[in-house]
Structure 1
Amino acid sequence: MVINRTGSGAGERSSPSRTLIVCADDFGLDEAVNEAVEAAFRDGFLTCASLMVGEGACADAVARARRLPGLGVGLHVAVTSGRPVLPAGRIPDLVGPDGRFDGNLARAGIRYFFLPRVRRQLADEIRAQFEAFRATGLPLDHVNVHQHYHLHPTVASLILAIGREYGLRAMRVPDEPVDVLRAVAPSETIRAPLYRFWIHMLRARLRRAGLVVNDSLLGLHWTGAMTPERVRALLENLPAGVSELYFHPSVRRTPVLESAAPGYQYVAEYEALMNEDNRACLARQSVTLATWSDLAGDPS
């Protein structure tokens, strides 16, 4: 890559003024996603990927990651809409007849918060996902959660309690700056999210725990529709501090992806990561690309 990479620790984040983590979620969901991650790291400007350890293409993703030194691979914890690691008999209150987590986020959230039996099963599944990641032998770059469900206080508590045993040092805060979006898309009506309070609570909690967190996240407003043009506009308006720009890339559409998120523009998001104009935009602005581990420093 032609863009600078940082090797600084967490205490040195203020220089340079703009650091960017570029992450692909859903690594391991499908081989077409894994192909996109490999290509975007080798020839684009991707720095990280978040691994779904319960999905069918996880082994393929791990094999690719092992031949990509420098790619920061983290755990993409799934507790909604995805596949668990534990068998259904161990977590009967978490999965439906199809063996998948509940896709109704409100219903799942109520059950996770109020039912002790469900919380115990949730803890077991989260631990199993950390164990599965450890079994890959890959260093744990970061942790985030499918559908940003670590905004749920129960899920955040369990990840913090369990993750420390597995080397958790960095975690995403889904905080997208409204002023940047308004500058990029002045014709759109953009409002601060109703769950703003929970974002602030999560950030404060993670920082109290000593974790490295991002100052801003880009990609929420256009989740699944991060076209090359939109990405370029965001890159031209990067805020100061540490930002994370996240994607759902794939080299092609597949039945698995159609089922997971029918409206997502997977291929367009892959093309945004490979786009030469976007790479040139980063280089012109002297943006430093980083992994979460770059910011967290040496764990020893």
Structure 2
Amino acid sequence: MSDCVESPRRVVFHADDFGMNPAVNEGIVTTFRKGLLTSTSLLANAPAAEAACQTWSALTAEFQSGRLPSALRRQQLTEPEQPFDLGIHLNLTQGSPLTGTHFPNRLLDHQGNFPGVGKLFFRLSRAGATERKLVAAELQAQIEWMFDHGYPPTHLNGHQYIELIPVVSMMIPEIMKRYAIPTVRVAEERGLIPNLLLRGEVTGWCLSLIKRYYAGAFRRRMRDEPCNVPDRFFGTSHAGRIDSQLLSRFLQYSRDASLTEIGVHPASPVLGDDLVANDPWFDPLAAMRPSELNLLCSLKLDQELAKRNLGLGRLGQPRQTPVSRTREPSA
């Protein structure tokens, strides 16, 4: 597999939430093996994070040996020989903090779990210097977890887009430098947000505009930083609902981009009894995820990419600087 001169434009199919639960883990690994997934990011504090790491080594070995069921498809789409991307999915909205009792209690719910993205946004806006330092320590602990398991992150993004929250976005440049993480997501989705309003999804339209506003501010913040940012990103406004028609439009809107990242959420089916709404790791996308798995494994996707002269790409780049693993003091 080698880069194709005639096809410099590339697409990264990226799956968030690796480690969330067995169904998500299985779906992501299946989509690497049988489909065209090229990237994922790990929830270090999630219940199935350890299991995710155990499957990653086997998946990587299968890729490097050319034994993936999707190997020929990937070769025809000029996929680079570089290993799949495995990044950190920074999380302050679900589950409990890795830093335990050092994390500010005011930023947790009454059960000691992260409070959800809406409450997090407003509580962080009132956070003082000490609380912010402890939040930074938690984010660093999640990255340290990956290092400790032998997987330096190839890229960085946030669960439920927490990297767009101003208090968090201010921490990202220093965190990336500290751990030599070369690539960050900027979830600034363009072109398809008005469709939500046309379909009567007023709440989704409003939330998408808010995300795009903060994503624009985040892009400006990262503009002068020594890091890589994909030219286009799609998936913010349609999580769990991406079908072949919408995916085709994503690719159409990325025609002037060298590297486009498309965020997807594949998973295997989950039994209804396993969906508990008050569980801190409740997955509202569970019922929709299998359809995205099927889409990414479909041969029609190969045809769509070939028709547009697009190849498969990577987010991660080789590190040029040593990694400093010194955390901020806990308190």
TM over 0.5: yes
In the TM superposition, what whole-angstrom CA distance separates every residue of 1:195-252 from its partner, at most 9, and x where no partner exists? 5442222112212111101222111221121234432443355332121101111111
Per the alignment, residue 23 of structure 2 pairs with 32
Displacement over 6 Å in runs of 4+: 189-192
| 1:1-300 aligned within 5 A | 6=3, 16=7, 18-69=9-60, 70-88=83-101, 90-105=103-118, 107-116=119-128, 117-178=130-191, 188=199, 193-241=209-257, 242-254=259-271, 255=274, 260-264=282-286, 265-293=288-316, 296-299=317-320
Rg larger in structure: 2
Percent identity over the alignment is 24
Q: State the distance in 2 between where 1:5 and 1:206 align.
A: 30
Amino acid at match of 2:242: M
The structural deviation recorded for 1:163 is: 3.0
* Secondary structure in structure 2 of the residue aligned to 1:42: helix
| CA–CA separation in structure 1 for the residues paired with 2:276 and 2:36 | 23
What is the Cα deviation at residue 185 of structure 1? 8.5
Instruction: Indicate conservation of the 8 Å contact 2:240/2:289, yes or no.
Output: yes
- Which range moved further: 159-168 or 139-148? 159-168
Cα distance in structure 2, aligned partners of 1:32 and 1:74: 19
3-state SS in 2 of match to 1:93:
helix
Give the letter aligned to residue 119 of structure 1: R
Do the aligned partners of residues 17 and 71 (structure 1) sit closer, same or farther apart at CA in structure 2, a change above 3 Å counting? closer
Instruction: For 1:113, give the aligned amino acid.
Output: S
Q: Distance in 1 between matches of 2:85 and 2:95?
A: 22
Could you tell me whether the CA contact under 8 Å between 2:105 and 2:112 is conserved in 1? no
C-alpha distance in structure 2 between counterparts of 1:177 and 1:247, whole Å:
16
Q: CA RMSD in A?
A: 2.8
**Does the 8 Å CA contact 1:227/1:271 hold for their aligned counterparts?**
no
Count of matched residue pairs = 286
Q: For the structure 1 residues 236 and 158, does the alpha-carbon distance in structure 2 shift closer, same or farther, using more than 3 Å as the test?
A: closer
Q: How far apart, in 1, do the equivalents of 2:211 and 2:247 lie?
A: 24
